[in-house]
Structure 1
Amino acid sequence: MTSPSPIPDPVTLRRSAEAGDGQAAHRLAVLTAMGLGAPQDWNAALGLLEQAAELGFAPAVEQLDVLRGRDGRIDIATWLSSPPPRPLATGGAAILAIEGFLPGAVCEYVWRRAERLVAPALVYDPRTGEGRREAVRSNDAARFELPEMDVVLAVVRERIARTAGLPVAGLEWSQVLRYAVGQSFDWHVDWLDPANPAYAEDLRRRGQRIATCLVYLNDDYEGGETAFEADGLRWRGRKGDALLWANTLPDGSVDGRTRHAGLPPRRGEKRVLSQWLRGRAPRP
């Protein structure tokens, strides 16, 4: 479901940044952080983000505030590593919890970015490759495609990819899901059924959805657990915790035990960042 987004020309962006365009410096920072149109270079990306801030681009100032430590510096090596995961399932399915995956300030920042993009959530339509509205899914979602990406989101995506041991180029566009009271995502799987001919072209181009990661952006709600058929597992993270699971087995076949559901909150509003991970970058 990753729609192709045109990559801005880095040469043009660099010229504009050198001429004093803070927004251009920021876009170039995003491309450099993601390795799009230029080799991935985190130190260069952060330098460009600082340049954008110095040129008065307010979103760059906010991102630097989120990423800087108490000493005023950005320790990118720490940002790109995460606490160790803890297995949750006992029946063989690879379902892992990662406590303290993201700081609270990043969770709040991601939600601020997502709030203005929220719309009714869609399910995958194999006939079109796009999304469609279905009764099985009543929650809302915000999707960050390339025009909405920033350096903080790029850091989060890289951290997820490294934790899962999968290439960041294989990540689909990140989404933030919002569940109001009574809203849910009924029982489903994230992997694409290789026996269904409708998925053949998607699987050929982008490979299987090997893993899924959820990061809990808040915890001031009741209910709203993530439920799995495996072991009858019900899990609810605290703010900043992550839930990571493998949709496939070591031999590459899909793992039916990962059928799951987003249960409805009984009070409050649940917000999670949702990330699907493929095993490689898309083919043309």
Structure 2
Amino acid sequence: MEWLVTLIGAALVLIILRDLFHTLWHPTRHGGLSRFVMTLLWRLSTRGRRPQRAVGLTGPVGMVIVVSTWACAVAVGWALVYWPHMPEAFAFSGSLKPSEHSGPVDALYLSLVIVATLGLGDIAPSSDWLRIVAPLEALVGFALLTATVSWILGLYPALARRRALALRISQLRRADAVGGNLASDAGAALLDQLAAEIARACVDFLQYPESYYFHDGTGGISLALNLEYAADLAEQARLTEHLGARNAGALLATSLDDLAAVLDDRYLHTHGTRQQILAAYARDHGNR
């Protein structure tokens, strides 16, 4: 029975490490826990006429919940590894009575001390195999901390790029800077740049799937509300007689197709045309 509890704890730790790997270090996958938490919070926050502030908190709150769940599950998993072997496999300081400090709370306390790399030393493993396992927990705790920091440092620049792209499209629409000037080298260059930025946004959605659940608001920084104008520019360019503009328009349309495919495959599941997918994206993010 003791080893069964230990194996259950080890399995819990491995499940969390697998989820951590798929969320942070496997860019083409989406961790199961983060997908469940983010999707649930998003659906709850967008149900009915909720305040925009509640929708805007979905992404940050979801990340806090995911990271907290990882940390708590790792601590509990290792506590289950330690608990069945207390007190005989551990050394206690002189002020502690082993018979009184060998329960599940003490095992959890020891796990938290080790995963946080505090090293208080009042309870320490004395068995050979536990003296190997305990430092591994400290390494996992350190890896969890650094991975979380890397996640944040990667996600927020991706959000900034997405919002900058939306603002760029919004500025073009509001200034009517393109107008009838698409059939020119300057118009072709502008569309090429726009296609490159949309391709970058597509990669960001693949690299950081959780970024979808960060609401951009309903103004000029909302990509969901500005993609339709980019699609209109692509169609206008493809009808011009300027070869460079036609090619740039085709490239922009292809970039939009790729972005729509990623959005539909990972989040929307409409199985519709590009226009239908972009409209669904706008409804999901814009009508708040």
What band does the TM-score fall into relative to the shorter chain?
Answer: under 0.3
- TM-score (normalizing by structure 1): 0.25
User: Which is richer in helix?
Assistant: 2
Indicate the structure (1 or 2) with the bigger Cα radius of gyration. Answer: 2
User: Which is richer in strand?
Assistant: 1
- TM-score (normalizing by structure 2): 0.25
